[in-house]
Structure 1
Amino acid sequence: MKLNALSRGVPLSAVVLAALAIAGCGDKDAAETPAAPKAASTAAPAVAAPVLQIRPETKTFRDWRATCGNDGTCWAFGFAPEFAAGWVRIALAPGPDAQPQILFGYWPDGDAKGANPLGLTIDGRAYPAALSEASNADAPIGEIRTGVRGALDALAQGKVMTIRGASTQEVSLHGAAAALLWIDEKQGRLDTPTALIRRGSRPAALVPVAPPLPTVTPAPAVDQSGFGDQNQRVPAALRARTEVGNCLKASAMPAVSDMVMSARLDARTELWGVPCGAGAYNVTHNWYLTGPGGRDPRPAILAGTEGPGSDPVMPDNATVNGAYDPKTRTLSAFAKGRGIGDCGAAQTWAWTGQGFTLTQESVMGECAGVPSDLWPVAWRTR
């Protein structure tokens, strides 16, 4: 997968719709025989909370990028200019009770002396931060824990924002307000007290709650004797396919050609991963489903909102840095935009007995030092 394909945003391939059900109730007609009058009820009729209707989407607003996932959680990211390592992330779950979170990170200058207090400065005003649990020794991550709403207001209206710690790093504010407004609209928060930017007097109870997640049930585990990622040879029927032969020729180096992977999925189905080229930090595999002994091979279908199934250059059965875990019956991939793995796409599919179903997908199109576990999650399932 090429990074420039990621930077165009996430294509839309999955739509999650949840119906709003409002139940009304009333007494049946009274019997015709006289009865004592009843006191009028003052209780309001029960109304079900509205359910968010949302689809995974990513949009770019000048120097900011915002993503909303199929579970209704949204993220807005601002980045340091020209691929410098610095970023600010605003995350907000769906629902009227959700509270925004502000995280930021950078790589300190190696020549910086001492460790200054971690924080953000917006138009000259300081917003102190605590060290987040997501930090590591080389790349501290700060979290604004007090005055979050005030920091959001300043960020949306500000001109200059700087990450401060052992060294400093500017992060552009161009597009920040538009990204936050888009999230308010996607989550149904506009003109309510819960909005990130456009707050108003509409009741918070009108903010929709999270939609139900799709449920995916992996197939039962099966014995893997004779299968795995060591000392595997491509079966003859699979090797006879023209594209498989071309892949093996393209992966002629022993370090790559020996990366054949296999697994037993059930009594009638095997999975084979054929190496098909490699770079400095990425190895591509094409995956096939076969009968016992590799007979009757056919490409596996790995649909996603980014990467396999969405890029016309890559076949639907290709992964980058892919691997199958028979314990969880999941196939995973992590296409790195660069060697440190701070940008790219990470995906997981579960084998259900009928095929592979996407269970999680995270995409980061900007190489700015964001750890992969803090990327926005465009798709997830139960």
Structure 2
Amino acid sequence: MPAFEYSALDASGRRSRGVLQADTARAARAQLRERGLNPLSVDEATSSPAAGGARSLRSSQRALLMRQLATLVASGLPIDESLAALAEGSEGRLRTQVMALRARVLEGSALAAAMAEYPGSFPALYRASVAAGEAAGKLDGILLRLADYAESRDALANRVLLALIYPLLLSTVAIAVVSGLMVWVVPQVIGVFSQFGQALPLPTRMLMALSALVQDYGLWMLIGVVAAVIAAALALRQPHLRARLDALSLRIPVWGRLARALDTARFARTLALLTGAAVPLLDALTISGQVVQNQLLRTSLAQAALRVREGQGLARALADSGQFPPVAVRLIASGERSGRLDAMLGEAAQHQERELDTALGIAMAALGPGVILLVGGLVLFVVLAILLPIFQINSLIR
């Protein structure tokens, strides 16, 4: 029984939206009229790629869905009843997605096949893991691991974001304050000094020239910056330019360490989840490579997958690429020898996350004071440029 998204008006004229299940759109409209609603639109929850992209779930919603579904499946409820129970307690986009999944399951699809119709909401990692869990009869455990995985990825992204918020906010405020001084305050203050006909100090003349430049060409400078950002974004869509930039970024002392640790942690945690779900290693490597952002590391993973296909061990293949941290490679090698690859991949992910936290701490310890010193230097320059003519005028009066 398919699911339909509807928009309707109640007796008081208020608009309501939701999802219901019916055999046809006409039957869905009939259900709405029985509830005292006047249907405005009734559309089937489509599985087209466009719709999947527009209605895709956020990572936090996926984590919540996986954890709740795991609890219900572990209690012995069939998949369709578990999804129905989840839909009753959900709202908005999540409820729409759950009811669409239930409609596919009621039509006879497996849960992984139903997820495959919504690739925007359920990436290949989720589909492959759920398919392996269904085949092995361990769906509840796999769903719990997927929830843990999504939550750990969110936590990692949040740590990076929180570390960058302070310097970015400080830089934005500094640019706004200095721009305001240059456009409105400095011209009025300096204009007073120019009436005396005396030669102004060099800092004051520099400040006047900079203020005039901002006043006359500030808009064009802003347009140029925006155009440069757009041009850079378009250029980065070219694979060869993106690959060169990514290779260069890994050589930058602090940034390279951050980028390498972040992508290695993503790769190791994803591969640990897939191998723990009994997904074949080659398939797991292909899926894990998709979560890596750096093109050089992604290419190295693809080459490592080819070597594994030819019979080489995973650790040796990663070591030959020379792009992955030695500690992570040694942990993976230990997992291959002991037959506990998924567990050691998890250890490698945790180690890289600790490395990332350390690198973030070092970067923020240097960046925060650096931005403060830069802002302080700019303010000191403006103050000196204003005070020096005042001192000069006082000496002339004496």
Query: Normalising by the residue count of structure 1, what TM-score does the alignment of the two structures yield?
Result: 0.22
**Higher normalized helix content (fraction of residues):** 2
Structure with greater Cα Rg: 2
